[in-house]
Amino acid sequence: MSKKLIKIENLHASIEGKEILKGINLEIKEGEVHAIMGPNGSGKSTLSAVLAGRDIYEITEGKVTFNGKNLLELDPEERSREGIFLAFQYPVEIKGVSIVNFMKAAIEQHREHKGLEPLSPAQFLKLMKEKKELVEIDSKLTNRAVNEGFSGGEKKKNEVFQMAMLEPKLAILDETDSGLDIDALRIVANGVNKLRNEHNGFMVITHYQRLLDYIVPDVVHVLYDGRIVKTGGKELAFELEEKGYDWIKQEVEG
Amino acid sequence: MALKTKISKDDFINIFKKEDDEVLSYGKIKENALKVLEQKEVPHKKLEEWRHTSLNRILQHKYSPAEFRPLSKEEVNLFSIPGLDAYRLVFVNGFFLPELSDIKSDEKGLIVMPMYEAKRKHKALFDKYFDKSGIQASNFFTALNSAYASNGSFIYLADNFTSNKPIHIIHFSDGQARKTVAQYRNLIVAGKSSNAHIVYTYHSLSLNYTLNNLATEIFVEDNAHLNFNIIQGEGVDAAQFNYTKVIQESNSNFSMHTTTFCGLLVRNDLKVLQNGSNIETDLNGLYMPDREQHFDNSVFVHHAKPNNNSNQLYKGVIDNKASAVFYGRVLVDKDAQKTNANQLNKNILLTKYAKIYSKPQLEIYADDVACSHGSTTGQIDEEALFYMRARGINRRKAETLLLTAFVSDVIEKIQIEAIKFYVQILINNRLKGEKKDAQCLMIDECPACD
């Protein structure tokens, strides 16, 4: 039986006094891919930000257990080192900091957390090279400053590259498909698929079914008005694509 | 006039007084300096140029003249710059230390020696340049310096001479458990088509209220290339007034980097007069005040002739309750057509108590010029910080990466590799959270130094 990765219980979160998440319950096991779908404003991005440790949200109720630890007590950097990875919907430009230096700092702190010796410069560069090839990212990209002047596609590829470097237990993909053309989407999805294995899990947040053609989910949840209102197999995604979200709204409100 | 300080102007001046035969200036120059001193007020906040730099916490102390103390080679070496092979002069409390210095005295090549000695040994050169830049009339402190300074460094590059090594002038302050003052007067002459790199570093040996009043005149003759660096790291109770006046002739290139790490109150005045054509002036500064320190850079470039360029890039990282001033002024005379002048000041405030007063100013009387100026002040980018933390990088390391990136362009402009490396180490140590009270520029940990 596969192990539990994350358990979210009755999670409530608000921003500036406005409640966005109104009691989320969700459990992901090792080896599983869960898709979170839902209309705009349903709380999808809030859920990913809260799990990554964004402190602009206030957690008013609930519990999140990750790896047997109380996730909500950890700083964002501790969550990352424990194995949470958020692929940002809008990756941030960091002027003047090269991807190499950025990843070097991250890998160093991840290894320190695990009680491992730092990598030698040669080992580090070898790791970079391997992961770049794995996720098919242009070699020149990593010599540039983090996301500075990157196209939408390059930014998303860079997220997948970082994911490959850090090898998280749970990767949260926040609308990774937004702003991607079909070729970029395929490369990004291929990268994700190569990183899938029986020990990690994925939470794929998306508005459209399109991405799920490439990253096939085990479970699909529909988030609406801060709650998961429907859960099903991958066929649920097709149903949503066909019928839109209105029937869900009617079901919930009607 | 009534100053809101405990010490009167006359009492303050008296601390700096020296016997006539000890003082560098004499005759008309000395007379004039005394006259200017009489007219000038001790700077206070009602004077436009001192609006944001209050001297109250400096002038409330009872100072006395700094005294000589011997210094061992080992002590000096603690402050050496890794990889810098330079001709050097070492001063402590205004006194010259010959046994720790390399004196050069070749009128056809290089002269590096203390001023009082240059006044005797190279009198013609001394008289030709000393106090000829108009520095004494600049403010109260420069007048005080012209009237009573008794030593400092003299650097002369003969025409067509290229120095094979940088010249490093090291200043130490030690109040020796008292509150002391010292003055330095420097004169640098870069003869026609000469070329050199010069570094001045400032250190404290102990934690005392000290006050250094410095005035430096720099003459950059036709086609000369002079690169001038100042690194300031005196103790957290040390005040420094550092006035530099530069006169550049045609086809010359003058570049300067002022890096201020530590001190209680540091005021840097830099005035450049472009007195010819096809001149390049490149002025850069980095200031990183912490705690309740106050660093002030007042920069003035005077484009008096046509076809000249000037560039200013000053950056500040201001921590805790510290404050900084950037007052940059570019004056383009009516005749100075085809002037190209750029001025940029950027700051990051690390806390809500940190302060910056930034005033870039262009005054243009010519009609065919390309000038720009700008000033920005911001905080650490919280979005970037979260992004980095979400990758497992802790807050301090993330801040260090962001701030290192912020200052990188101004560091890149440092021309001496050893100095660039040294400044990078000092910045890293500072950003790692190392705080030193006195010996700010001492490197404890330098993995790549050996």
Q: Which of A95, A109, A110 sits opposite B397 (nearest CB)?
A: A109
Assess whether pLDDT exceeds 90 at residue A138.
Answer: no
How far apart, in whole angstroms, are the C-alpha atoms of residue B46 and residue B299? 19
Of B386, B392, B398, the CB nearest to A166: B392
pTM of the model: 0.89
- Residues of chain A with pLDDT > 90, as a percent, come to 78
pLDDT of residue B3: 46
Residues in A touching B393 (Cβ below 8 Å): 77, 102, 105-106, 109
For B387, the closest of A75, A92, A101 (CB atoms) is A92
pLDDT for res B78: 87
Residue B245 to residue B194: CA distance in whole angstroms: 19
Task: List, for residues A196-228, the tens digit of each pLDDT value.
Answer: 999 999 999 998 888 999 999 999 999 999 999
* Residue A78: closest C-alpha in chain B: B392
> A100: which chain B residues are within 8 Å (Cβ-Cβ)?
none
Tokens of A190: 């291929």
How many folded domains does chain B comprise?
1
Task: Tell me whether residue B61 is in a domain.
Answer: yes
Range of the structural domain that residue B90 is part of: 9-380
Element (H, E) at A9: strand A4-15
* Residue A207 DSSP one-character state: S
- d(Cα B437, Cα A146) in Å, to the nearest integer? 36
Measured between CA atoms, the residue of chain B closest to residue A95 is: B405
Mutate to test the interface with A, among B346, B381, B385, B389 (most CBs of A within 10 A): B389
Asked, for residue B365, whether it belongs to a domain, the answer is yes
**Does B396 fall in a domain?**
no
Domain ranges of chain A: 4-94+169-253
Residue A110 with chain B: CB contacts under 8 Å: 392
Alpha-carbon gap, residue B136 to B152, rounded angstroms: 16
Residue B403 lies in a domain: no
In a domain, B449, yes or no: no
User: Rounded CA gap, B434 and B430, in Å?
Assistant: 5
The pLDDT, as a whole number, for residue A1 is 60
Closest residue by Cα to residue A111 from B397, B431, B396, B393: B393
Confidence at residue B446, expressed as pLDDT on a 0 to 100 scale = 52
Q: What is the pLDDT of residue B1?
A: 44
H or E segment and range at residue A212: helix A210-214
Residue B395 lies in a domain: no
Dihedral angle of Cα A176, A10, B385, A130, to the nearest 10 degrees: -50
User: How would you write chain B as a 3-class SS string?
Assistant: CCCCCCCCHHHHHHHHCCCHHHCCCCHHHHHHHHHHHHHCCCCCCCCHHHCCCCCHHHHCCCCEECCCCCCCHHHHHCCCCCCCCCEEEEEECCEECHHHCCCEECCCCEEEEEHHHHHHHCHHHHHHHCCCCCHHHCCHHHHHHHHHCCCCEEEEECCCCECCCCEEEEEEECCCCCCEEEEEEEEEEECCCCEEEEEEEEEECCCCCEEEEEEEEEEECCCCEEEEEEEEECCCCEEEEEEEEEEECCCCEEEEEEEEEECCEEEEEEEEEECCCCCEEEEEEEECCCCCCEEEEEEEEEECCCCCEEEEEEEEEECCCCEEEEEEEEEECCCCCCCEEEEEEEEEECCCCCEEEEEEEEEECCCCCEEEEEEEEECCCHHHHHHHHCCCCCHHHHHHHHHHHHHHHHHHCCCCHHHHHHHHHHHHHHHCCCCCCCCCCCCCCCCCCC
B392 and A80: CB-CB below 8 Å? Answer: yes
B392 with A102: Cβ contact below 8 A: no
Give the range among A51-60, A176-185, B257-266 with minimum mean pLDDT. Answer: A176-185
Question: Would B392 be classed as within a structural domain?
Answer: no
State residue A140's pLDDT score.
Answer: 84
Please tell me the distance in Å from B410's CA to the nearest CA on chain A.
12
- Chain B residue with CA closest to A147: the answer is B384
Domain assignment present for B183: yes
Closest Cα in chain B to A105: B393
pLDDT tens sequence for chain B (450 residues): 444 556 889 999 999 999 999 999 999 999 999 999 999 999 999 999 999 999 998 988 899 999 999 999 998 988 889 999 999 999 999 999 999 999 999 999 999 999 999 999 999 999 999 999 999 999 999 999 999 999 999 999 999 999 999 999 999 999 988 999 999 999 999 999 999 999 999 999 988 899 999 999 999 999 999 999 999 999 999 999 999 999 999 999 999 999 999 999 999 999 999 999 999 999 999 999 999 999 999 999 999 999 999 999 999 999 999 999 999 999 999 999 999 999 999 999 999 999 999 999 999 999 999 999 999 999 999 999 999 999 999 999 999 999 999 999 999 999 999 999 999 999 988 888 777 777 777 776 554 444
Chain A interface includes B383 (CB < 8 A): yes
CATH of A4-94+169-253, one of 3.40.50.1970, 1.10.8.60, 3.40.50.300, 3.90.950.10: 3.40.50.300
What's residue A247's pLDDT? 86
Reported as a single tens digit per residue, the pLDDT across A6-29 is 999 999 999 999 999 999 999 999
Residues of A with CB under 8 A from a CB of B: 52-54, 75-77, 79-81, 85-86, 88, 91-97, 101-103, 105-106, 109-110, 113, 145, 162, 166
- CB contacts of A92 in chain B (<8 Å) are 381, 383-384, 386-387
Q: What ipTM is given for this predicted complex?
A: 0.96
Cβ–Cβ under 8 Å, residues A88 and A76: no
* pLDDT tens-digit readout, B158-201: 999 999 999 999 999 999 889 999 999 999 999 999 999 999 99
Give percent above pLDDT 70 in chain A: 99
- Choose the mutation target among A50, A54, A82, A97 for the interface with B, i.e. most B CBs under 10 Å: A97
Residues of B in contact with A109 (CB under 8 A): 392-394, 397
Confidence label for A141 from pLDDT (cuts 50, 70 and 90): confident
User: What are the chain A neighbours of B383 within 8 Å (beta carbons)?
Assistant: 92
Task: Give the pLDDT of residue B445.
Answer: 56
Which single residue is written with the structure tokens 């964002």? Answer: A76
**Helix axis angle, A182-195 to A121-134, nearest 10°:** 120
CA A52, CA A45: separation in Å to the nearest integer? 11
